[in-house]
Amino acid sequence: MQEHTPMRLTTQRQIILEELLKVTSHPTANEVYDMVRKRLPRIGLGTVYRNLELMAETGMILKLEVGGTQKRFDATIQPHYHVRCMECGKVDDIDIAVQQDINETAAQACHYQIIGHHIEFTGICSNCTQSDKTASIN
């Protein structure tokens, strides 16, 4: 059995992580690609996907499997919950207490070995509430 070689510290990885740390917007892989490309114009989208996936696996970042068509990534790794705007798809953190106890409750209600949970709220963000008002006037 072979010892696992540590992840190499490549320029691409550093910059992807740096860019992700700069924002609180839970960007999609493609948004990260756009951010990183400003500093590394020749980076490939595949590299971004591969590294985001790898960093999520090793726990450096969080992969958010929220609603919508794309996965999102988050450099804040402490457990926390999210709100997603049904109108524009924006995802924000929501600062309410994490319910550690709920996992055990769930474990007793099913035959799964429970590893964790995530709460996703859905709603309309303040920007979109505004636009809705404007739209209904017209």
Q: What are the backbone angles phi and psi of residue 35, rounded to the nearest 5°?
A: -60, -50
Of how many residues is the chain composed? 138
CB of 64 to DNA, least distance (A): 10
For a copy of itself, the closer of residues 49 and 81 by Cβ is 81
Phi-psi region of 30 (alpha: psi -120 to 50; beta: other; left: phi over 0): alpha
For a copy of itself, the closer of residues 21 and 119 by Cβ is 119
For a copy of itself, the closer of residues 34 and 93 by Cβ is 93
CB of 61 to DNA, least distance (A): 14
CB of 11 to DNA, least distance (A): 5
Tell me how far CA of residue 76 lies from CA of 59, 92, 102, 107, in angstroms: 10, 12, 22, 26
Q: Check: CB of residue 105 under 8 Å from CB of residue 117.
A: no
Question: Which residues of this chain interact with a copy of itself, rule CB under 8 A?
Answer: 65-68, 81, 83, 85-86, 92, 94-96, 102-103, 105-107, 109-126, 129
